[in-house]
């Protein structure tokens, strides 16, 4: 089967990474000096309005924010040269003997989408002190600055500088060799070797997932194979393959097997109790019976619809079938005592409609039948559409197993009826159908902006203003100062003091995880005065009692947008947090504009985003619920990752298990 990506080692992939129209030719990354890499390229052709250069330590960037943004310039000012010595972020410098992966992105001015224009690998050369070693090996006559004096040592700077030319080249080879020598360190392995190593483990390298994620997948493959078929193994596979943390839960339909519910491969554990023969009826068999389609299913994961259960009456009279053929210990559904359960199904008549009813028989832990059994009201099936029948009842005090039954009243010999979409669930009423034992997989975003109403687009709700009032303004940050290509807001809040004195702006309460670093930032400016703005984080316990409040470094407001910020470790007993900003007003006449607030689980101040603005690809941004009134989620490289994950998951779950894949946004 073809795989999304590009051609690699003769394996057939479909799609491409779109470099043809926007190709930055002659893109080269080569050592310039020790721990410095020089990058040069030709200006990409095509209609684009912004160029971005990304550096990644683990592989080529797959999205225009996947790594350190070295620059982000408009078309008319975009350079064709860059000297990288690790100056961003935080001036940490490049690591010695490590390859770095550079990607040029350009933004298509027609579609607004970012396209890869070129990739290059450069190595940061380590100083092995080779120049000094070379110099020390030279005869004294060559290092002496005094002619014909072979005994008097001297410091010949000219010779030293000359030898550095050769030493640097030799150190380049040493750095490359050191990197290859450590080839079993997958974390630092040269990216060009990743696809080859993956082949050795029977894995396919997929360019659209990127080298960085492939490293993680390759590094963990042995452990992942050991955990195959387990819940933990599935969690770890999704993290390693897709790069998303995740939550896996069991669906609501607790029928033991999807064949018991949907008859995709067989009739499951259903057996005749009275007057029936059972057979699986494929949707391609005659007469044509179209299986039930659940309209409330996840739009990308409809219920399986390949077959139904055909019931044929053997003689005239009532027809009864049971899930386990009255063998509850082996095939009954485990249940909890004194708990409400609902059993439902859909029926369709082959020729004549009959009254169809659902029943539940209860058994104790030894398989002894309990009384009373339960039977719901009947529903007449028809030949034209599917009819739902149901029963809801609370299990007996000592119930351990449940055996669903279905009864068809007053059938005649050789009469046929069809069943599909059978569901046994906890609860006192029927809900929409879901395939039996289906896995619900929720992907956790790479980044979450916890603040509700972070950008003051529609209102100032979810914020408290002390000694002040707030109104909406069309004065906005506009773009991310660190990435001019990114629009981040369409409005702001203008906060006016009620009187001179302390002004406080506080967010609504947000759930947090204890013992994690959190960072709060917000954009602010005052076009008439200069104020000292102090950000803060307040931590609260499970009873909403204040634990402590931490204040950050004071930032001075002025006619340009400033960004006060604070980073703090959440206390071990913290459950929620509030963030905000304080300043001392000199009068009631001078307002301050606030915009683009960000609070996330991070030890650094990152670029702003909400569910509609920020970062790069808007398709990767989601509001958890109501726009501007819920948390914001960012999924890096969502389309490629999600589509490939859907194709790969069947190989990592038990055969016959169905699944639904959700983002944090409900219904996605």
315-346 confidence digits (pLDDT tens): 999 999 999 866 788 889 999 999 999 999 99
Tell me whether residue 194 is in a domain: no
- In angstroms, the CA 73 to CA 488 distance is 17
Residue 97 shares a structural domain with residue 149: no
Peptide bond into 160 cis (omega under 30): no
Give the whole-angstrom CA distance, residue 120 versus residue 55: 10
For residue 17, what are the domain limits?
A: 3-124
Based on the domain organization, do 409 and 541 belong to the same domain? no
> CB of 658 within 8 A of CB of 441?
no
Q: Is residue 193 part of a domain?
A: no
**CA–CA separation, 210 vs 54, rounded Å?**
14
Note the pLDDT of residue 147: 62
My answer on whether 137 and 120 are in the same domain is no
Rounded Cα distance, 364 and 490, in Å = 63
Residue 252: what pLDDT?
Answer: 96
Print burial letters for 571-608: b (CB count within 10 Å at least 16), e (below 16). Answer: beebbbbbbbbbbebeeeebbbbbbbbbbbebeebbbb
* pLDDT in the model for residue 180: 77
Distance of CA 160 to the CA centre of its chain: 53
The DSSP code for 562 is B
Where among 372, 401, 435 does a domain terminate?
435
Pull the structure tokens for residue 345: 């199904």
Instruction: For residue 386, give the CATH number of its domain.
Output: 2.60.120.260
Rounded to whole angstroms, the Cα distance separating 143 from 138 reads 7
Q: How many domains does the chain have?
A: 5
Nearest to 195 by CA among 181, 182, 209: 209
Q: Looking at the structure, tell me whether residues 76 and 151 fall in a common domain.
A: no
Contacts (Cβ under 8 Å, ≥6 apart) of 582: 502, 503, 504, 505, 533, 534, 536, 551
In a domain, 155, yes or no: yes
Residue 514: how many other CB atoms lie within 10 Å = 13
- 199, part of any domain: no
Residues of the chain with pLDDT under 70: 1-20, 89-91, 145-154, 325-326, 665-668
Domain with residue 46: its CATH number is 2.60.40.10
62 and 102 fall within a common domain: yes
The CATH number that applies at residue 663 is 3.30.300
Reduce the secondary structure of 329-357 to three states and give it as a string: HHHCEECCCCCEEEEEEEEEECCCCCEEE
Q: Is the alpha carbon torsion for 539, 543, 544, 546 positive or negative?
A: negative
Q: Are residues 461 and 587 in the same domain?
A: yes
Q: Is 620 inside a domain boundary?
A: no
Rounded CA-CA distance 102/282 in Å is: 53
Q: Are residues 663 and 549 in the same domain?
A: no
Task: Check: CB of residue 103 under 8 Å from CB of residue 118.
Answer: yes
Same domain membership, residue 405 and residue 358: yes
List the one residue out of 359, 344, 616, 660 whose CA is nearest residue 480: 616
Is residue 489 domain-shared with residue 597, that is, in the same domain? yes
pLDDT digits over 478-514, tens only?
Answer: 888 878 898 887 789 999 999 999 999 999 999 999 9
Residue 234 sits in the same domain as residue 326:
no
Q: Among the three residues 371, 405, 435, which one is the final residue of a domain in this structure?
A: 435
Q: Which of 435, 456, 486 is the last residue of a domain?
A: 435
Do 293 and 369 fall within a single domain? Answer: yes
d(CA 555, CA 656): 58
Q: Which residues contact 305 (CB under 8 A, 6 or more apart)?
A: 262, 283, 290, 291, 292, 293
Q: What is the pLDDT of residues 217-232, one digit of tens each?
A: 999 999 999 999 899 9
Residues 517 and 530 in one domain: yes
In a domain, 593, yes or no: yes
Does residue 274 sit within a domain?
yes
Evaluate whether residue 111 is within a structural domain: yes
CA distance 539 to 572: 10
């Amino acid at each position: 089967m073809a795989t999304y990506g590009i051609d690699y080692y003769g394996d057939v992939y479909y799609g491409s990474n779109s470099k043809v129209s926007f190709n930055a030719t002659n893109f080269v990354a080569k050592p310039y000096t020790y721990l410095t890499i020089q990058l040069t390229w030709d200006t990409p052709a095509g209609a684009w309005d912004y160029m971005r250069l990304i550096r990644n330590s683990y592989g080529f960037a797959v999205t225009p924010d996947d790594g350190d943004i070295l620059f982000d310039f408009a078309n008319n000012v975009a350079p064709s040269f860059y000297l990288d010595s690790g100056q961003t972020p935080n001036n940490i410098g490049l690591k010695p003997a490590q390859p770095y992966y550079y990607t040029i992105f350009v933004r298509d001015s027609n579609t607004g989408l970012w396209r890869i224009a070129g990739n290059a690998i450069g190595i940061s050369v380590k100083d092995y002190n080779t120049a000094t070693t070379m110099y020390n090996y030279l005869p004294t006559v060559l290092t002496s600055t005094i002619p014909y004096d072979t005994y008097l040592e001297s410091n010949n700077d000219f010779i030293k500088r000359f030898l550095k030319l050769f030493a640097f080249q030799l150190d380049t080879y040493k750095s490359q060799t050191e990197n290859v020598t450590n080839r079993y360190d997958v974390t630092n392995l040269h990216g060009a070797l990743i696809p080859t190593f993956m082949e050795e483990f029977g894995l396919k390298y997929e360019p659209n997932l990127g080298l960085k994620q492939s490293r993680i997948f390759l590094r963990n493959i042995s452990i992942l194979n050991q955990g195959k078929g387990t819940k933990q193994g599935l969690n770890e596979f999704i993290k390693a393959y897709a790069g998303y943390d995740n939550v896996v839960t069991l669906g609501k339909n607790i029928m033991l097997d999807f064949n018991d519910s949907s008859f995709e491969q067989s009739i499951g554990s259903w057996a005749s109790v009275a007057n029936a023969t059972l057979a699986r009826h494929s949707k391609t068999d005659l007469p044509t019976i179209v299986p039930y389609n659940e309209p409330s299913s996840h739009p990308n994961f409809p219920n399986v619809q390949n077959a139904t259960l055909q019931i044929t009456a053997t003689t005239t009279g009532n027809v009864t079938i049971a899930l386990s053929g009255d063998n509850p210990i082996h095939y009954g559904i485990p249940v909890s005592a004194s708990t409400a359960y609902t059993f439902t199904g859909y029926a369709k008549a082959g020729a004549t409609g009959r009254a169809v009813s659902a029943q539940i028989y209860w058994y104790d832990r030894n398989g002894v039948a309990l009384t009373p059994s339960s039977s719901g009201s009947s529903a007449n099936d028809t030949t034209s559409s599917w009819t739902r029948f149901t029963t809801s009842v609370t299990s007996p005090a000592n119930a351990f197993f449940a055996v669903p039954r279905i009864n068809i009243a007053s059938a005649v010999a050789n009469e046929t009826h069809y069943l599909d979409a059978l569901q046994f669930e906890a609860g006192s009423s029927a809900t929409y159908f879901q395939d039996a034992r289906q896995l619900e997989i929720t992907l956790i975003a790479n980044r979450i902006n916890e603040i509700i109403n972070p950008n003051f687009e529609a209102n100032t709700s979810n914020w408290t203003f002390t000694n002040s009032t707030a109104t909406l303004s069309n004065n906005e940050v506009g773009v991310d100062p660190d990435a001019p290509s990114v629009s981040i807001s369409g409005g702001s809040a203008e906060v006016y003091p009620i009187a001179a004195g302390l002004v406080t702006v506080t967010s609504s309460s947000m759930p947090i995880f204890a013992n994690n670093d959190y960072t709060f930032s917000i954009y602010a400016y005052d076009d008439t005065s200069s104020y000292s703005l102090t950000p803060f984080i307040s931590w609260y316990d499970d009873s909403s009692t204040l634990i402590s409040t931490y204040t950050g470094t004071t930032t001075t407001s002025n006619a340009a947008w400033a960004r006060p910020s604070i980073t703090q470790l959440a206390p071990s007993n913290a459950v929620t947090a509030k963030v905000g900003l304080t300043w001392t007003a000199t009068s009631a006449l001078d307002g301050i504009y606030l915009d683009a607030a960000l609070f996330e689980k991070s030890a650094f101040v990152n670029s702003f985003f909400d569910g509609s603005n920020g970062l790069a690809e808007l398709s990767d941004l989601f509001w958890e619920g109501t726009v501007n009134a819920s948390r914001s989620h960012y999924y890096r490289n969502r389309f490629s990752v999600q589509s490939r994950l859907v194709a790969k998951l069947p190989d990592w779950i038990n055969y016959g298990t169905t699944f639904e894949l959700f983002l944090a946004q409900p219904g996605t």
